[in-house]
Amino acid sequence: MPSTLTHKLIDTHLTAGEMTPGAEIAIGIDQTLTQDATGTLVMQELEALDLDRARTEVSVQYVDHNLLQTDDKNAQDHEYLRTAAQRFGLWFSKPGNGVSHPIHMQRFGIPGKTMVGSDSHTPAAGSLGMLAIGVGGLEVALAISGRPLHLRMPQVWGIRLEGELPQWCSAKDVILEMLRRHGVAGGVGRIIEYHGPGLAGLTAMDRHVIANMGAELGATTTVFPSDEAVREFLRAEGREDDWTELSADQDAKYDIEDTIDLSQLEPLIARPSSPGDVVPVREVAGAEIAQAVIGSSANPGLRDFAIVAAMVSGRQTAPEVSFDVNPTSREILTDLTLMGATTDLITGGARIHQAGCMGCIGMGQAPAVGRNSLRTMPRNFPGRSGTKEDAVWLCSPETATASALTGKITDPRDWARDEGMDYPKITLPQHYSVNTATLLAPLEPERARQVQPVKGPNISALPETDALPVQLLAPVLLKVGDNISTDEISPAGARALPFRSNIPELAMFTFTQIDESYPQRAQQTPEPGHIIVGGENYGQGSSREHAAIAPRFLGLRVVIAKSFARIHWQNLANFGVLALEFDDAADYDAVDQDDMLCLDDLRDTLASGELLHVHNLTKQNSFAVRHRLSPRQVQDVLAGGLIPRLAHSDE
């Protein structure tokens, strides 16, 4: 029977289960990716698992998020990560090397391989024909230790691409079109697989843009074929020997199908404050802007910067606009310089920043309150930029640059017409400026065992968690709405990020963007803790497990929501927080903050898989909830989390 590429990739790595949508499967993992905002916890988890050495083919620790060193906290993390990587046999990418996803694609990505990463944009590697999935840090630690990844088999969503992108549209407009059609939850429970004749006009880095932001649709991952475009990319990186041709069989059937005619696309933009609120640029043209930021994992390719340089060449950006350029790797900055594009950017008014995530994670480049910021980044959740009342728009490099030049949101087609400018023809080098010297290779095992990871005073131990009680009587300490992101649960930004290795300190930022009193109220709530009630798609966005650990540290035991985002749902189970869903979504309206809820016979009911009945003692009524946990996950939650459960098992 003709097979999709997704099914082929899973089948060659399947260790348990059957590829039936909704069934739990286990797949072997070849590679892992960790970054510094999540990696310190992964290294602590490796210590808790008593790992001697990584058992994957390739595991890489990157430093790309917490780059600003305004005090010693981030520097402590960098030193801990470097020495922990040496101890456990991982590659280490130094601060300033660039964003993890494009670097991994440049140096380590191999068609046909599987990868998990403690970053939700790990699926960017699907641009090479990999099966790359973003997960919580604990699952990455388990993969590094040689254990398979457990997940529910997704449906495979085939997107047929036809036609060719028109001038002044690029890959960002393709994924924005997907978000315009389907919203931030449109890909939940699905793997997106692109196919069709339209692929011929998309380079490997174009595909990276699309695969990266599949995470904003809630998709498990995104897969592209490994074809001549991938071969050309690997050849330019000096790694053509790593290329393998991979594609779906002719006439392969997909669980869901859709088609995009690329020739019909126009420049698109996501309005504040959701990647799913997408409209044509012309619909919002004319709004004044104060900032335009180029870069991030969502637009990391050399072309993405070269087109910007060509547009500003001989011109000057508007005086009221901060025009920020974040190169995504040392390699790309080197090639831009050799092309002369760096000079065009600087003379055109650009502020050149170090290679890294920077403003994407709110680490610098925070915009002014009430002023529009256009960014080529993947997310614009409220406050993610580092400014609480921000106004961040997401768009292509072409749209961001045209707007930076005019000082207002501008369709690049209109700008080009006014300038009398044709779409620039960019000639990229046949061979990129490969530099592996700044990547530190794993030490030999005997030398590695002699390394003691260096822990500064800002690096705490993992908090211990206790087992779930048989009966839970606890208050609803917070009720929130739909699409609550992990940025709103555990904020990004330069104030909170330096405490990513210090859970007691980081916990004091939990939910403060929604309710500044939550941490103090949680600390004052007696055992057994408290409950949070949420709406649809609770926990969307980043894979950061801090959004599960920090609330658990403050006493969170149960979250009852209409539905959950995949990664956060798994992270809650990993750290012993019970994720329940309203059996009838209308019951959400009947629960209020401060209501006292009671759940009885938790252990027996969870194990049986039956509906649970929650008694609202305040309202004197009851409602039914259900869980989607597998028997394995039920045992994790009952034990207080995955680490306590493993500590008392032979796994």
Question: Which pair of tokens denotes residue 342?
Answer: 């760096």
- Quote the DSSP letter at residue 360: G
Please state the domain extents for the chain: 5-264, 268-419, 472-647
Q: Is the pLDDT of residue 648 over 80?
A: no
Beta-bridge partner residues of 393: 374
User: Phi and psi at residue 336, in whole multiples of 5°?
Assistant: -60, -40
Q: How far apart are CA 122 and CA 124, in angstroms?
A: 5
Q: How far apart are CA 415 and CA 296, in angstroms?
A: 24
Can you give the pLDDT at residue 494?
81
Q: How far apart are CA 161 and CA 159, in angstroms?
A: 6
User: Phi and psi at residue 168, in whole multiples of 5°?
Assistant: 70, 10
Question: Which pair of tokens denotes residue 237?
Answer: 């990186």
Cα–Cα distances in angstroms (integers) from residue 446 to residues 93, 443, 449, in the given order: 22, 8, 5
Instruction: Provide the 10 A C-beta neighbour count for residue 181.
Output: 13
Can you give the pLDDT at residue 53?
96
Question: Which pair of tokens denotes residue 556?
Answer: 């969170």
Q: Is the pLDDT of residue 315 over 70?
A: yes
Task: Give the helix, strand, coil percentages of the chain, each rounded to 5.
Answer: 35, 20, 45
Query: Tokens 């405490």 map to which residue?
Result: 499
Of the candidate CATH numbers 3.40.50.1980, 3.40.50.800, 3.40.720.10, 3.30.499.10, the domain formed by 5-264 belongs to 3.30.499.10
Give the β-pairing of 91-93 and 439-440: antiparallel
Can you give the pLDDT at residue 147?
96
Q: How far apart are CA 509 and CA 486, in angstroms?
A: 12
Residue 468: helix, strand or coil by DSSP? Answer: coil
Q: Is the pLDDT of residue 649 over 80?
A: no
**pLDDT tens per residue, range 73-124:** 899 999 999 999 999 999 999 999 999 999 999 999 999 999 999 999 999 9
Cα–Cα distances in angstroms (integers) from residue 212 to residues 68, 155, 488, in the given order: 24, 19, 21
In this structure, of 361-370, 574-583, 617-626, the range with the lowest mean pLDDT score is 361-370
Q: Which has the closest alpha carbon to 179: 419, 380, 402? A: 380
pTM: 0.93
**pLDDT tens per residue, range 185-228:** 999 999 999 999 999 999 999 999 999 999 999 999 999 999 99
457 cis-preceded (ω within 30 degrees of 0): no
Please, which residues have CB within 8 angstroms of residue 197's CB and are 6 or more apart in sequence? Answer: 161, 162
Q: Taking residues 547-561, what's their average pLDDT?
A: 97
Instruction: Provide the 10 A C-beta neighbour count for residue 1.
Output: 7
Instruction: Provide the 10 A C-beta neighbour count for residue 422.
Output: 8
Question: Which pair of tokens denotes residue 46?
Answer: 């490796």
Q: How far apart are CA 16 and CA 148, in angstroms?
A: 9
Cα-Cα end-to-end distance for the chain:
36
Query: Tokens 């920090």 map to which residue?
Result: 550
**pLDDT tens per residue, range 113-156:** 999 999 999 999 999 999 999 999 999 999 999 999 999 999 99
Can you give the pLDDT at residue 496?
87
Q: Which has the closest alpha carbon to 282: 201, 162, 421, 169? A: 169
Q: To the nearest whole percent, how much of the chain has pLDDT over 70?
A: 100
Q: By the 8 A CB rule, do 503 and 544 touch?
A: no
Helices (H) and strands (E) in the chain, counts: 23, 27
Question: Which pair of tokens denotes residue 84?
Answer: 């922990």
Q: Is the pLDDT of residue 650 over 80?
A: no
In CATH, what number does 472-647 get? 3.20.19.10
In the structure, what pLDDT confidence band is assigned to residue 177 with cuts at 50, 70 and 90?
very high
Of the candidate CATH numbers 3.30.499.10, 2.20.25.570, 3.30.70.2740, 3.10.290.10, the domain formed by 268-419 belongs to 3.30.499.10
- Quote the DSSP letter at residue 126: G
For 195-259, give the secondary structure using H, E and C. Answer: ECHHHHHCCHHHHHHHHHHHHHHCECEEECCECHHHHHHHHHCCCHHHCCCECCCCCCCCCEEEE
Q: How far apart are CA 391 and CA 83, in angstroms?
A: 39
Same-fold call for 5-264 versus 268-419: yes
Radius of gyration of the chain (CA): 24
Q: How far apart are CA 306 and CA 395, in angstroms?
A: 16
Residue 525: helix, strand or coil by DSSP? Answer: coil
Q: How far apart are CA 308 and CA 536, in angstroms?
A: 38
In the structure, what pLDDT confidence band is assigned to residue 358 with cuts at 50, 70 and 90?
confident
